[in-house]
């Protein structure tokens, strides 16, 4: 008789299909049946227990990205910034992106951005460095897709309005960090560029619980010098 938790080859759960199974010996000497599941979107395979599968955990293609996000934080931040630009109507330049119908639906899941854009990103980054490698659309009237994206040096971005200013941020939980690019910080943390600048200029005290303090001129020069040095070393 077939047990409730049995899974057969060919069974489909979410985006995964069972392609084989085998016994795995546990530490206590008992055995578990492990099912090899293949994603029908990207083809990745992984071993899973039937209980996990039945609970519906990790059975979507989206879950294929698990663990990949942390491999390259800079690459991940490029995806995050793109998603913010195209999905957040509160983003400061939403008029040029989400409100204009510029989408990144093809890269809704990080795993797809990784599979399709990581090789070309690495190629460019190996020449100009990861920090400088910036995502650009070929046709500005079209959204983000494999066909319409390329990697360029961030200094070559025509609309690059990044301001270099050394500042200290105090997070709502009291943590403190030093940064030098307001725009990048704003995008990454889903905050408003202009409001941060207002905080730095003393016009506003806080922005969503964050405080921003301008560093003294000497400290700023020091930070910018070390930034430059870091870039040269790459």
Nearest position to Zn ion, beta carbon: 39
- Residues 31, 24 contacting (CB under 8 angstroms): yes
- Smallest distance from the beta carbon of 119 to Zn ion, in angstroms? 17
Residue with tokens 């600048």: 197
- Smallest distance from the beta carbon of 44 to Zn ion, in angstroms? 5
Q: Could you give the CA distance from residue 36 to residue 47 in angstroms, rounded to a whole number?
A: 4
User: Which of 64, 197 has the CB closer to Zn ion?
Assistant: 64
Q: Please give the span between the terminal C-alpha atoms of the chain, in angstroms, as a whole number.
A: 63
Q: Could you give the CA distance from residue 150 to residue 136 in angstroms, rounded to a whole number?
A: 5
Please list every residue from 37 through 76 that binds Zn ion, using CB under 5 A: 39, 41-42, 61, 64
- Smallest distance from the beta carbon of 14 to Zn ion, in angstroms? 10
User: Which of 76, 188 has the CB closer to Zn ion?
Assistant: 76
- Smallest distance from the beta carbon of 19 to Zn ion, in angstroms? 14
Please list every residue from 105 through 134 that binds Zn ion, using CB under 5 A: none
Beta strand extents in 6-158 (DSSP E only): 12-13, 16-25, 31-39, 45-49, 133-137, 149-153
Q: Which residues bind Zn ion (CB under 5 A)?
A: 39, 41-42, 61, 64
């Amino acid at each position: 008789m077939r047990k409730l938790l049995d899974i057969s080859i060919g069974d489909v759960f979410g985006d995964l299909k069972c392609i084989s199974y085998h016994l795995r010996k546990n530490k206590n000497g008992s055995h578990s049946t492990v099912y090899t599941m293949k994603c029908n979107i990207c083809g990745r395979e992984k071993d899973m227990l039937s209980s996990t599968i039945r609970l519906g955990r990790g059975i979507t293609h989206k879950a294929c990205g698990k663990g990949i996000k942390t491999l390259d934080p800079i690459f991940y931040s490029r995806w995050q910034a793109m998603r913010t630009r195209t999905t957040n109507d509160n983003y400061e330049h939403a008029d040029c992106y989400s409100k204009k119908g510029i989408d990144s639906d093809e890269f809704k899941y990080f795993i797809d951005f990784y599979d399709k854009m990581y090789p070309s990103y690495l190629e460019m980054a190996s020449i100009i460095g990861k920090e400088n490698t910036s995502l650009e659309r070929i046709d500005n009237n079209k959204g983000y897709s494999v066909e319409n994206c390329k990697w360029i040096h961030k200094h070559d971005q025509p609309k690059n309005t990044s301001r270099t200013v050394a500042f200290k941020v105090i997070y709502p939980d009291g943590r403190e960090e030093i940064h030098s690019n307001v725009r990048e910080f704003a995008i990454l943390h889903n905050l408003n560029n202009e409001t941060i600048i207002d905080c730095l200029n003393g016009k506003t005290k806080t922005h969503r619980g964050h405080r921003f303090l301008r560093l003294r001129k000497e400290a700023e020069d020091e930070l910018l010098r070390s930034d430059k040095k870091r870039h040269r070393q790459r």
